[in-house]
């Protein structure tokens, strides 16, 4: 009973929030409703017993991703209304049919997969402990690859968003570095 | 009333459809990123639900990797977006149809 009430409440809230995020013409409304939707989604993870996943969802999405988006919005002009494109009717029709077929396949998937056996069954210990066991034994290599991917993404983000990233201080001579500093000073005086 | 696996899958499909509509109708690239976040999150819900109802932890593992991919996508995408905005002073999708550099 409690599960049903929680499910329907949070389903309604997430669908509403994501609908607002997709349809509104104000960029700030879209950002805040997306953040709210992310937090409501973590409620499903807690209902499903995936406690660690729910905590990660809150930390990563509303902590890191939303902070990045908020930082990005300071760069762009978000005060004017977002213009929508007039879509091609044939493409929209085709994609709608495709998503309808997808819906049928997804809903009928549990019927086909009735005789699936659990590869890594859920044990008696807490969720975090079980996740840690599986993640650091069977999924150790994908975990390390994901770590390298995050490192690459971090370096890429710094290089792309930083200033004067095409220059390398280690490859320049002392005189060039001094000249660059002089130029910076002159620019500041001029501006 | 019992909440089964199908409830979660239907919810995930509805959220996925909302994200797909967002991808189709948004012109601003930042709004397009929001729509992709919705897509990834809807898939995460179905992963967690399947993991719960089959008593298998693999679904949760995949959800973790999806979250990691979403985070790195945001970092790189936003960096590229800032570079584009410095150069062209807008982030409309229609202006990006050619690769003149």
Q: ipTM value of the model? A: 0.89
pLDDT band at B101 (very low <50, low <70, confident <90, very high): low
Longest dimension (CA), chain A: 75
Q: Model confidence over B56-68: pLDDT tens digits?
A: 888 889 999 999 9
Domain assignment present for B48: yes
Domain assignment present for B71: yes
Helix or strand (DSSP H, E) at B65: helix B58-88
SS3 A150: helix
Contact yes or no for B33 and A146 at CB 8 A: no
Task: Give the pLDDT score at A73.
Answer: 80
B19, B23, B71: which to substitute to probe chain A, counting the most A Cβ within 10 Å? B71
Check if the beta carbon of residue B34 is closer than 8 Å to that of residue A68: no
Nearest CA in chain B to A39: B41
Task: Give the pLDDT score at A118.
Answer: 67
Strand partners, A121: B56
Domain assignment present for B101: no
* Tally of structural domains, chain B: 1
Q: For residues A153 and B13, what is the distance between their CA atoms, to the nearest angstrom?
A: 29
Domain assignment present for B41: yes
Contact yes or no for A72 and B67 at CB 8 A: no
Q: For residues A49 and A38, what is the distance between their CA atoms, to the nearest angstrom?
A: 17
CA distances from A86 to A100, A133, A143, B16, B94 (A): 22, 50, 42, 21, 11
Which among B56, B55, B29, B81 has a CA at the least distance from the CA of A27? B29
Domain assignment present for B13: yes
Domain that holds residue B83: 5-96
Which among B54, A10, B83 has a CA at the least distance from the CA of A18? A10
Q: Model confidence over A47-99: pLDDT tens digits?
A: 988 889 999 999 998 888 888 888 878 777 666 665 665 667 788 778 778 87
What's the CA angle centered on A50, arms A45 and A52, to 5 degrees?
Answer: 105
Task: Give the pLDDT score at B90.
Answer: 75
Domain assignment present for B65: yes
* Average pLDDT estimate for B5-17: 87
Provide the residue count of chain A. 191
Q: What is the CATH number of the domain that holds B78?
A: 1.10.287.3510
Domain assignment present for B35: yes
A-chain CB neighbours of B65 within 8 Å are 142, 146
Domain assignment present for B61: yes
């Amino acid at each position: 009973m409690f599960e049903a009430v929680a499910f329907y409440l949070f389903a309604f809230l997430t669908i509403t929030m994501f609908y607002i995020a997709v349809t509104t013409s104000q960029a700030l409304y879209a950002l805040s409703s997306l953040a709210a939707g992310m937090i409501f989604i973590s409620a499903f993870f807690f209902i499903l017993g995936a406690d660690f996943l729910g905590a990660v969802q809150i930390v990563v999405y509303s902590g890191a991703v939303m902070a990045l988006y908020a930082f990005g919005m300071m760069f762009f002009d978000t005060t004017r209304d977002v213009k929508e494109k007039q879509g091609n009717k044939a493409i929209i029709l085709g994609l709608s049919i495709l998503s309808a077929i997808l819906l049928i396949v997804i809903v009928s998937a549990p019927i086909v997969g009735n005789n699936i056996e659990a590869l890594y069954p859920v044990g008696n210990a807490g969720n975090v402990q079980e996740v840690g066991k599986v993640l650091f034994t069977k999924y150790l290599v994908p975990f390390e690859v994901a770590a390298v991917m995050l490192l690459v993404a971090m370096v890429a983000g710094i290089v792309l968003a930083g200033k004067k990233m095409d220059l390398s201080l280690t490859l320049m001579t002392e005189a060039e570095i001094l000249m660059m500093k002089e130029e910076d000073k002159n620019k500041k005086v001029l501006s | 009333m019992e909440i089964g696996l199908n409830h979660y899958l239907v919810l995930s499909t509805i959220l996925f459809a909302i994200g797909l509509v967002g991808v189709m109708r948004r012109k601003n690239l930042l709004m397009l990123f929001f729509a992709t976040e919705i897509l990834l999150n809807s898939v995460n819900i179905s992963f967690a639900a399947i993991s719960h109802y089959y008593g298998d932890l693999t679904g949760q593992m995949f959800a973790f990797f999806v979250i990691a991919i979403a985070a790195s996508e945001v970092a790189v995408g936003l960096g590229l977006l800032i570079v584009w905005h410095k150069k062209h002073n807008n982030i409309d999708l229609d202006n990006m149809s050619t690769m003149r550099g």
